[in-house]
Each structure stands twice: as C-alpha cells, then as structure tokens.
Amino acid sequence: MRAQRYLSFGFAYYLLLALFLYLPILVLVIFSFNDSTLLVYPLKGFTLRWYSALLNAHELLDAVRNSVIVGFASSFVSVVFGAMAALAIARFNFPGRGFFLAISSLPLVIPYVVLSVALVLLFAQIGVPLSLFAVGVAHTVINIPYVMLIVAARLAGFEQNLEEAAMDLGATYWGTLMRVTLPIAAPALAAAFLSSFTTSFDEFALAFFLTGTENTLPVYLYSQLRFPNRLPLVVALAAIIMLVSVLLIIFSEWLRRIGTQTTPRGAE
Amino acid sequence: MENRSRITILMLPPALWLVLLFIVPLGIMAVFSFREGSFGAEREQFTLENYQHFFANRSYLNLLGTSAWIAFQTALIAVVLSYPLAYFLSFRAGEARVTLLTILIVPAWTSFLLRILSWKLILGSGGVLNTFLLSLGVIQEASPLLIYSRAAVVVTLVYVWIPFATLPIFSALERIDRRLLEAAADLGCPPWEAFLRVTLPLSLPGVIAAFFFVFIPTLGEWVTPALVGGAQGIMYGNLIQDQFVRALNWPLGAIMSLVLMALVLVILIIFNRFIRISDLAGA
C-alpha cells in the first residue's frame, strides 16, 4: 500500500515540480564552487576562493548587516502589533472587527509597487528622508497581517478554559494574558517572528523604492547584477544565505507545527 | 464594559499603525495625482493635466492591458500546474502530506532575486540550457531568445508562484468531506466522474483564490520583467517605477498607481467571497 503510493504518477509529478523549484538553488550552489569569474557552463574546477573572498567584501557585508538590523527591528514591531490585534480578534467580537480584518489583509494582496509609491509619497510629505528606517516601516505594513493570521490561528486552536481557570483563580485579565495566553502562543510568536524576518531580509520591491544611501542586501545584489565579474562573490554569499534561510524556515515550520496543535503541551 | 477597554488597548496601536502607514499614504497618493510636479513650487499647484495626459496617451493603458494578459497567462499556467500537485498531496500523500507541502514552500522563502539570477544563468545565451542543447546538436547556435522576452517573464513568474498557487487549492481539497466520494462510489459513480462532479466543483473556490493570489500581485510586477524581460517584456509596473527612478514625475506615477489600485479593488470586490486570505498563511 505504502510502496504503491510512492510509485504513483502523482508522486512522479511531485518530484518533477520539486526538482523544478529547487533547480535554481542547486545551480547557484554549484556555481559558488566553480573556479571561474564567468558564470558559464561548462564548469572549470572546484574552488573555495569565492567563499574566502567574502570576508573582505566590505560593501557586501555592510549590506548584510543593514538587512539584519532592518529585519530584526521590523519583525519585532510586526510581532508586537500583530499579536495585539490577533488577541483582540481571536477573543472578542466588536464593531469594526470585520472591517479591520478586511483592511489589514489588503497589504497581502495589493501589488507592492502601489504600496511603494504610496509610502514614498507619505515620507516625502512628512519630510522623513528615504532610509533604512523607511524600509523597516514598510516591512511592518506587509508583515503585521501575516503575524496576525499565524497568531490568531494558534489562539483559535486551544480551548479558552485555561484562561478562564486562571481568571477564576483570581488572575487579572492582563495577568492571564502575560502568564497563560502568551506562553501558550509562544511557538506561534516565534514562528511569526522568523517568517517576518525572512520576508524582510529578502524583500526587494519595497526596499528598492525606500532605501536612501545605505543599501539592504537585496538592493545591493540588484546593483551588482550588472557587473558579471562581481557575480561569483554574490553567488557564494547567496549559497550561504539560501542554506541558512532553508534551515530557518524548517525551524519556523516546526515551531508553527507545535504552535497549532489543538492541545498545548502539558495541558493534556 | 471591561471588555471594551481591553479591546481598545489591544486594537488601538495596531489599527493606528496600519491606518497611518497604509490608508493615509493611499490618500496622499490620491492628492499627489493632482499636483503639477514632484518638487518645489510645482508641488503646490493643483491641476487636472496629469489625468488628461494619462488618458490621452493610449500606450499607458495598452501596457496595463498587456500586463493583465501576462498576469492572466501566468496565473492560469500556475493554477493548472498546481492543481495535480495539490490533488496528489491531499488525496494520495497520506500522513506525509504536510511535510511534502513544506518541502515545496521552502525554496519560495529563499532570495527571490537570486533565484531569478539563477534562471538567467540557466536560460541565458551562455547558459546551462543553451550549452546543453548545443552539445546535443538540437540547436546550431546559442539562442538568446530563451531570455529577454515576454515568454521568459511568464516562465519565471510561474516558477515563482507555483508554491503559492498550491496552498489555497490544497486547503480547498482538504476541506472536502471524503464521505461524499464514498457515497458517489457506492452509488456506482466511476472515479473520474466523481472527480469531475464532486471533487472539482467543490475545490473551485480554492482554484479561483489561487488564480487571484497570482494574478493580482503579478499585475503590478516590475522586478522580474526588469531582470529577464528585456525591451519586449516590460510591464505596467516598470512604467510606474520609471516615474520615480528616472522620469521623476511623481504625479503621473501616482495616477498610474491609483489606476492599478482601482483595478485591483474592483477584482477583489467582485471575487471577494472566493478569496480567503487565511489560506496564504499556510495549510
């Protein structure tokens, strides 16, 4: 039965598409070890020099640092605001709830170019210079809805009796929130943070419009695409980033899996 | 009464944040579309000329039409390729289905730009595919046609969107009550007919959602065409981007964005009941 399942036409199709999705990553990793300044087939020979050269690529490392800062700051804000909204939406019914849900999900579907333009004009209007700060703010707009969905799913997934029990025993609403609800939601919060961070770290379309003199990594990468001889270095970094982000995603999916189980651990 | 203050404390900061950074900017964009210029004194003057210019110049709306056509092809191909995938995962993959789905999603979260760069390495004239085809003798000289074309834009976008098109279809299939299929079988309905008359109609909302999850963001896409589209593959989004990077005609760029936004809102309102945003957050 089991063997048959994996010899099926469907599984072959799955493998084919999985290969299609992973092919570009594979190609980049292979090229990162290729001993040639040109990224062309056939391959020349094995080298680690691109990886060692990375250590001296200051502009590149600055861009990585900028992206990490923007990622951390914007994810932190997104998780705080997203979790607050999720707590209200999952536990209360109030006028404007549906409206807020509709509005807050718009950033998920609106073309980014529209959001970029609107934010460029906002910052021009209020006199905030385009900068990493502007990029971080833009990233919160696209990440808050995701955080809300992830955390609300977690809150909907466990019974409210724990919260009720805590309050019956004399805990205040806010005490219950801090000592019961949030600890239970912790895996979802962590998953939401990681997902926000990876989105921000990789986000290009908004960052391109909103960075000032300092670049985030994707904006820097974009500027390097025009210079073929600088690409091997970029590709080596890409290989590292891809491996790290794959690990981060697997970790965050794992957290979310724990996070959305119906009964929280220790509550059986 | 107590609940009211709790709701206020929880909701006010995120609601204000989103209003200030999402609703207000759209309003400013609308105001900007009536301004005479991007900077200085021109910015203080209001005019309707930008609108006249936009609607008099047919090439703008034509390019929007072209972009809609590219987005339509992309969404259609992505949905057609994703459906069997979602079907396999939901109906045939058993316990492993969430793991198998996660494996598909992982590449989507790695660098978008670098995956596009990789496609350039594969499709470009000195690229892996060309040299491979050359060595097989299938083609006589390297074909640059594989890249810098509208087709290259569609292929690349389909690649980018397949995981996201699979999610809503998978969710819709997961919601189908399997007893309906048993009932169909008990009543003598052959499997393919049960698929056509039970499974497919019931999964249609997911299919429509998947279509629009791809179609709407693709409408405003500019990065992919800038990288692999060449002169033939430019889209409406490139036009908007150009108003801010080179032409520095912000009012015109604001009008173009408003038109795009209006189109998107019309689509969202018409197909509102099919588009379940929560499907995007995962299975």
pLDDT tens string A171-204: 888 888 888 888 888 888 988 998 899 889 989 9
Write the residue in A105, A112, A209 that is nearest to B277 by C-beta: A105
Distance from CA of A268 to the nearest CA of B (A): 23
B105 is written with which tokens?
A: 């999603």
Cβ contact (<8 Å) for A92 and B3? Answer: yes
pLDDT confidence bin for B261, thresholds 50/70/90: very high
Interface A:B, Cβ pairs < 8 A: 249
B283 at A interface, C-beta within 8 A: no
Chain B residues closer than 8 Å to A202 by CB: 109-113
CA atoms within 13 A on the CB side of A127: 0
Nearest residue of B to residue A80, measured between CA atoms: B14
Question: Which pLDDT score is estimated for A231?
Answer: 78
- Partner residues linked to A46 by β-bridges: A34
B108 at A interface, C-beta within 8 A: yes
Range of the domain at A67: 58-259
Long-range contacts formed by B30-38: CB under 8 A, 24+ apart: B30/B254, B30/B258, B32/A121, B32/B250, B32/B251, B32/B254, B33/B251, B33/B254, B33/B255, B33/B258, B34/B251, B35/B250, B35/B251, B36/B251, B37/B249, B37/B250, B37/B251, B38/B248, B38/B249, B38/B250, B38/B251
Note whether residue A49 is domain-resident.
no
Cβ contact (<8 Å) for A115 and B22? Answer: yes
Question: Which pLDDT score is estimated for A265?
Answer: 40
Write the residue in B13, B85, B223 that is nearest to A17 by C-beta: B85
Question: Which pLDDT score is estimated for B278?
Answer: 58
Least confident of A95-104, B53-62, B110-119, B134-143: B134-143
B98 at A interface, C-beta within 8 A: yes
Note whether residue A111 is domain-resident.
yes
Note whether residue A41 is domain-resident.
no
Question: Which pLDDT score is estimated for A114?
Answer: 94
Output the pTM of the full model: 0.86
| ipTM of the complex as predicted | 0.86
Write the residue in B10, B100, B105 that is nearest to A14 by C-beta: B100
Query: What CATH number does residue A161 fall under?
Result: 1.10.3720.10
Chain B residues closer than 8 Å to A182 by CB: none
Chain A residues closer than 8 Å to B109 by CB: 198-199, 202, 245, 249
Nearest residue of A to residue B13, measured between CA atoms: A81
CA dist B233 and B224 (Å) reads 9
pLDDT confidence bin for B85, thresholds 50/70/90: very high
**Which of these, B34, B30, B53, B55, lies nearest to B43 by C-alpha position?**
B34
pLDDT tens string B6-23: 888 888 899 999 999 999
Chain A residues closer than 8 Å to B280 by CB: 108, 149
- Partner residues linked to B118 by β-bridges: none
B24, A122 Cβ separation under 8 angstroms: yes
DSSP string, A177-216: IIIIIHHHHHHHHHHHHHHHHHHHHH--HHHHHH--SSPP
B216 at A interface, C-beta within 8 A: yes
Note whether residue A20 is domain-resident.
no
**Which of these, A14, A259, A230, lies nearest to B100 by C-alpha position?**
A14
Best probe of the A interface among B8, B11, B81, by most A CBs < 10 A, is: B11
A104, A84 Cβ separation under 8 angstroms: no
Nearest residue of A to residue B115, measured between CA atoms: A24
Cβ contact (<8 Å) for B121 and A5? Answer: no
Chain B residues closer than 8 Å to A257 by CB: 98
- Partner residues linked to B46 by β-bridges: B35
Distance from CA of A5 to the nearest CA of B (A): 7
Token look-up 């470009």 returns B124
pLDDT tens string A209-263: 999 889 999 999 888 887 777 778 888 887 888 778 778 777 777 777 765 554 4
Note whether residue A45 is domain-resident.
no
Note whether residue A214 is domain-resident.
yes
DSSP string, A42-93: SP--B--HHHHHHTT-HHHHHHHHHHHHHHHHHHHHHHHHHHHHHHHHHH--
Write the residue in A31, A112, A218 that is nearest to B121 by C-beta: A31
- Partner residues linked to B35 by β-bridges: B46
Note whether residue A205 is domain-resident.
yes
Name the average pLDDT for chain A: 83
Domains of chain B: 61-111+141-281 (1.10.3720.10)
Write the residue in A92, A111, A208 that is nearest to B7 by C-beta: A92
Distance from CA of A49 to the nearest CA of B (A): 20
B159, B123 Cβ separation under 8 angstroms: no
Chain A residues closer than 8 Å to B107 by CB: 21-22, 24-25, 246
How many structural domains are present in chain A?
1
Note whether residue A156 is domain-resident.
yes
Least confident of A252-261, B48-57, B235-244: A252-261
